[in-house]
Every structure is written in structure tokens, then in C-alpha cells.
Chains A and B, each alone.
Chain A
Amino acid sequence: MATLQIKQVVKRFDDTEVLKGIDLEVNDREFVVFVGPSGCGKSTLLRIIAGLESATTGDLLIDGERINEVGPADRGLAMVFQSYALYPHMTVEDNMGFSLRLAGVGKQARREKVLEAARILQLEPLLDRKPKALSGGQRQRVAIGRAIVRNPSIFLFDEPLSNLDAALRVQMRIELARLHEELDATMIYVTHDQIEAMTMADKIVVLQGGEVEQVGSPMELYHHPCNRFVAGFIGSPKMNFLPVTAQAVSTSGVRVALPGGGTSEVAVNGEGAQAGDALELGIRPEHLLLDDQGPLSGQIKVIERLGGQTSLYVEMDDGIITITADGDVTYRVNEQVNFGFEPSRAHLFDGQGLALASLQRHPLSGLVRQDSRERVENSRERPEGGA
């Protein structure tokens, strides 16, 4: 179907550089998620791909052909907007068939295509309604339907779930994943919500300040974040960071002095690090273990019980640390706790915030979602739509 290459794309608005030279490849049938805090440039990048903005410099290629000068409608893309951007004066059917009408497709053929998309999305009973008479979730589906009807080579989604309530968001997430299977299409999805990124993506692109921080599968980003920003951004609750000092560097890893007197050897490549360096130790809340013999300690300030698990907010000298513990722990507020961690689960970051590379790759970190890998390998031909 379609691959997309982005080469050295820069976008400048007046004097501010919103995108600072983006390089990226999107493979055929891949579900790629652009994630980052607001203002990171992810929406601008998507709009450049869509053709709604033009890149200041750099190239865009679809299936190897430069499309910078091609108009948005002729790129073979379809976009689902954050606001859905349904045409309020048209019925659902007319909304979905508008692109075909503009392309001069006959009434009958138009209706068939719309009906097919409506069937996939279970929109049949709503075809005669106007957008005003639809619920948020239904509008969302119409917007997706409008994209499906165009039979695009790449689907673009601009934060499509951010206007839905929490329950509906979970449901639509599942539906989108199902749709990706069913349509077998390349999808690019923008969100600021890392959970959406983790649950749906084959490949996540983390952006910040107009630059790509890291590209990788969800598990790769989770287990091997390349810097402090990605480490903090991916995963919930956020990773904890503790200031530590390097004590010894060896081939088996870096031994660091923990606050409170203990030491621990983290299995990372210590090249470039020296004893005495100030480093930061990163540990996810779920990887901290409550242990009376543990090298770390602090006072519990807040306890959040979610039933299945408990979040403990523990005050140490260097700030508050979050620990995710079992749902049945019996601690109380103001209690003193000791805790530790498995060194293989810890991360080390240098003075610039860059991660020291792990010596062992996590077994899941190379994993693209099983099904999509099979798909790529089988590489079966998708029957051409009759557009």
C-alpha cells in the first residue's frame, strides 16, 4: 500500500522553528503514533503530511515519490480531525460521500461506498441524521467513516479521542485497533496521551520541542528509553529519578552510591562515565520493591488505593518517590518504609540526560505487535479498491 518518508523537514512560523529537521520512515501497514507534550510539533508534522501546511524545507515522499507540491486531496490520504470537522449542514451520508461527490462519482456508486463504510462502523441507522443529532462517539465514527470512504493509502488521526469521555475513549481505542486490522492500512496517529500510544502503536515517535526524541516499539520505549525525557514521558505513573554518584565503572556495569548510603550495580555500558560522576538513577514505580532490608527509605506521605494496586508517595531527602505496590499492603500514612529494586530494572542517565545503554536488551523490546509482523511477512496483496 503505502510507505511514507520524511526527510529533514523543517517548519518555521515567522521566527520560531516549530520543527527542527525531522527524519522519519513509516512502513506499509504500520500504525505509527506521534506522541509528545502540547507544543512539541506533532500536530504540525501531521498537517504537513496531510498537505494542510507546507514544510519550510525538507522532503516528503510517499512510495518514493516527492509530494511536497501535491495538493492535500491528491496525496491519497484521509484525515480525522480532533474536532471531527463534520459538515454540519449535511447528513451523515452526505458527509461521508462528499469527497466522492467532488470527484464526480455517480450517485449510485457513491451510495454503495458509503453503505460499505457505514457497515464497518455500524452507522447504517444514522445515515439520514445531521451531525447535531449524534453523540460524541457517533460523530467520531462518522469522521472515521468519511476517511474510509476515500479509500486512502494512509489514514491520519489528529488527537481523535481527546473529546470523548474516559469510558468511550477506551472503547474507541479498541475499535480503532480493530479497524487497523480490518482495513489493513497505514495509519499515523497523533496524541498527547502516552496510554493511547502504548496500546495502539506498532511504532511510537516521541517528539519534544520540534525534534524526534526516540522512535521505537512501545516496549522498546518502555524498557530502553534513550533519554530522561522519554523515560519520564512513557509509562504511568512516571518514572522516579534519584541523584546518584558513580563509584566504579566496569565491564559488568556501573556501581553507584545511592542516597542513604547503599550501593548498587546497574548493568549498563559505562563507557565515558567515570567514578565520581553525578548521574541520575531512574526506576519505574512498579519496579520498586517494598523490602525491610532495602537500601532506600522514606516516609509515606500519601496512599492511593486503586483496589488492585496501591500507589505510595514516599518522601525522601531528594523529593517524593512513587511506589506501585500490591493492592493489599497495610501501610499507613507517615509510616517509615524501606524499599529496594532489581538492578536490571534500573536506568542510568548522565549529566545531559542521556541514557547509558543497557547491556541486556529486554526480550520484548524488539517486538512489533505479533499480528502486524505476520502481516508484513505474509505481505499478501490487498485487493485494489475501485476508486
Chain B
Amino acid sequence: MSAMTLIQHLLTGISLGGAYALIAIGYTMVYGILRLINFAHGDIFMMAGYFMIFAMASFPWFISIPITLIATVVLGVLIEKAAYKPLRSAPRMSIMISAIGVSYLLQNLATYLFTALPKSYPEVPFLKRIFQFGEISASLVTLITPVLTVVLVIILIQLINHTKIGMAMRAVSKDTETARLMGIKVDTTISMTFVIGSLLAAVGSILYFTDRMTVYPYSGSLPGLKCFVAAVFGGIGSIPGAVVGGFVIGICETLLVAFGYSTYSDAFTFLLLIVVLLVRPTGLFGEAVTDKV
């Protein structure tokens, strides 16, 4: 493999990893607070793709993007209120089943509303400009995805460490009951988590689909699972961990395909998950908390 090809692969991997990272943050934050794998998160990401398609049908991109972000956030919060909140005191298994149910519902709803045929993702003109460096070619979106990811993560970490709502989130994820006793509005805090998670999923969706250009009802399920693995790999509950996990999985997957093992690229993701869980259950950056795994 020539150096140029390798660089091209790495570029693809890093860009893919950036989108994964943004989705993985949603998983890690929700898991950190609710101890719930939000199976529907991948499908929220898919729905964000459809929102963008419909927004772009009647508005220019600079209006469509905010519409998409808001619609996705509303959807995310709605799911939390309707499907997770009533089960807060239920056994964990029930909430998990509810999450699987929501995912199933969103996929079927998308099939019903938008048909199973793939829909073309609209182009945001400036994002699609193609750059050519010698043999390597990449569109602007490929290049800005990792940059944007890192910037968003830095903002998010500042938010969590230095604002009141961030402090509330940390408190709720440490100990919900005590946090409630301390006067923290637990429900608001949890909703806020879903707002942030969905917002980042929407940004991830715009970047991911602008690069890959087609949305269909199942386009969220596999990336969703992979991003969950990324979150576990980085240490569930840890935001930098999710980002690192996203990049690692994106790059590894791309390189595996590059070396001719595409058959096993999905299997690899899950193998990585199992190895991490066995060797270091708290992930790369996870705090060692007893009775977590």
C-alpha cells in the first residue's frame, strides 16, 4: 500500500471517527446518568437525516441546519418524556426493552412515512467542495468533521465543568437520590442530557450524511451500535473517552477494510467491545466504580 493510499484511508477513518464520536457522546452521557443504553439514539440520528432532507426542500441551508437541530432535540426530549420517564423506578431491563421498542418504532415509522427507498441527502454547497492534494482528494466536510468534533467537545467539557447545569449533571450521574435531596431538579437535568445528546447526534448526522449522501430507515442502526461500543471503549460516562473511542473505531474499521478484511469489520467492533469489557471493564478513561459491570 502506498503512502498516499494510506493517508487517504486515514483521512476517511478520521472523518468517520469524528461523526462516530459525536454520536457516542450521546450514549455516554445518557448512560452516565440513567444507566441506560439508549438503543433509540442511532435512530434519532437517522431521523435527523430525514429532518434535514425535508428542511432543505423548502429552505436554504443556513435556515435548514437550525431547523434540523431543533427538530432532533425535540424528538430526543419527547422520547425521554414518553418512553423513559414513566419507567424511572422500573427495573433496568424494562427501560432497556422500552429503548429497543422506541428504536423499532422509529424504524417502522420512517419506513411508513418515507418508504424503504433511500432518499438522497441534500448538499450543502460549501461543505461539498472537493480539495485535491496530489493523489488525495477529499471534500471539505471530510476535513472539517474532526475539527468540528474537537471544538464541540471542548465546549461541552467547559459546559459540564463550569456551569450550574453541568454541575447538576455530574451530581445526578454520581448519585441521583442524593442529588434530588440536595435540591437538584433531576428531571430537568435528565432532559438537558437528552437535549445535548440529540443536538450532537444532529450535528453528527449532518456531517455523516453530507459525506455519505443517502438516508434510509435503517441507516442509523449499525452506526448506533458501533458508537455505543465506542462509548464503552472510552469508558462509559466519560466524554473524552467517547471521543477517543469514536476515532479509534472509525480508523480501525477503515484500515481493516483497507487491508482486505471487510468481512470482519463489523465483527471486529464487537470483538473490541468484548475484549475491553473483559480486560478493562471501565474503559480507557472510565472511573473505577464498583458494581458497574
* A and B are partners in one complex rather than unrelated chains: no
